[in-house]
Amino acid sequence: TEWTSDQLSQVDQTVRRWLVELGREARGTKDQDLQVGQKEGDFRNIVTNLDTTNQAWLVDHIRSIDLDAHIVAEEGDLQRPETMAGHVWFIDPIDGTLNFVHEKTDFAIMVALYVDGKPTLGWIAKVMTNQVFHGGPEIGAFMNDQKLAPVADLGLTESILIVSGRRLIAGEKPYATLASAALAYRVLGSAGISFSRLFLQQATGYFSKLSPWDLAAGRVLAETLGYVVKSLDGSPINMLSSNTVLIATTKTYRESVKIVKD
């Protein structure tokens, strides 16, 4: 079933309210209520009870409004769809879990809806500032009730490039090449917060390898605002696997492709 723009606006507002509610609970969570576990025996790869409960809550709520929902989510053993046909939802129940536990500022909750592979709606809740970035190509992109401005086409040397810190220090190509070409680079520890910086035009690009739930919502909103979301070799994005992508203004994207080739 196709959703009309009116229905998409309703879904946009509904999920926005959910994220405000989950955000309020996350802000109210006390240290003593937090259980922190490790994944894959890696002490840097952590998960909390709030990641798990947020995800279960969102899965239930999405299923209650969308009987056709297929869901791709980070935590647990939810059955993943094999194709992007129909309604595919993405959930990152807490993005930047390590920040959530250790600095309690730069983390987000992210949800996205793709219809037959088309980026349709995205939500990034920047919890601590109570800002929800939301919308999509049909309805426009917003921060809370405020419509976001289309991007100014700045180049690499005119603003900040956000990169994955772990990949940069691991010496993975071409992170250092791009970071050193930019005016300055930043490492934020949350894909959602990195996207929010782009949307407020506090950065000109974000380069990282991202899992589907890290990329899904940000991609919808970035494309709506006129950012390029692509791999550096131009190969297509597959939303059912991870992708190394540059999300950037047209100018920054073109300059980056050139620098990496040279």
- Residue 149, C-beta contacts closer than 8 angstroms, at least 6 positions apart: 201
Of the candidate residues 55, 88, 92, 255, the single one contacting Ca ion (CB under 5 A): 92
Using the rule CB under 6 A, is 243 a contact of ligand IPD? no
Draw the binding track, 3-32, toward ligand IPD (x: CB under 6 A; -: no contact).
Answer: ------------------------------
Using the rule CB under 6 A, is 214 a contact of ligand IPD? yes
Structural Rg of the chain based on CA atoms: 18
Of the candidate residues 8, 191, 221, 257, the single one contacting ligand IPD (CB under 6 A): 191
Of the candidate residues 54, 190, 252, 256, the single one contacting ligand IPD (CB under 6 A): 190
In whole angstroms, the minimum distance from the beta carbon of 239 to Ca ion comes to: 14
In whole angstroms, the minimum distance from the beta carbon of 151 to ligand IPD comes to: 21
- Residue 72, C-beta contacts closer than 8 angstroms, at least 6 positions apart: 78, 80, 81, 88, 89, 90, 91, 212, 213, 216, 239, 240
Which residues in the 76-95 window bind ligand IPD by CB under 6 A? Answer: 92, 95
Please identify the residue of the shown chain whose CB is closest to the bound ligand IPD: 191
Q: Cβ closer to ligand IPD: 96 or 122?
A: 96
Report residue 57 as tokens. Answer: 């809550």
Q: Which among ligand IPD, Ca ion, none contacts residue 106 (Cβ within 5 to 8 A by kind)? A: none
Of the candidate residues 23, 96, 122, 218, the single one contacting ligand IPD (CB under 6 A): 96
Using the rule CB under 6 A, is 196 a contact of ligand IPD? no
Q: Cβ closer to ligand IPD: 54 or 164?
A: 164
Using the rule CB under 6 A, is 189 a contact of ligand IPD? yes
Using the rule CB under 5 A, is 214 a contact of Ca ion? yes
Question: What is the sign, positive or negative, of the torsion defined by CA atoms of 164, 165, 168, 171?
Answer: negative
Q: Cβ closer to Ca ion: 124 or 257?
A: 124
Cis peptide, bond prior to residue 174, ω within 30 of zero = yes
Using the rule CB under 5 A, is 106 a contact of Ca ion? no
Of the candidate residues 22, 73, 74, 162, the single one contacting Ca ion (CB under 5 A): 74
Question: By the criterion CB under 6 A, which residues form the site for ligand IPD?
Answer: 92, 95-97, 164, 189-191, 208, 214
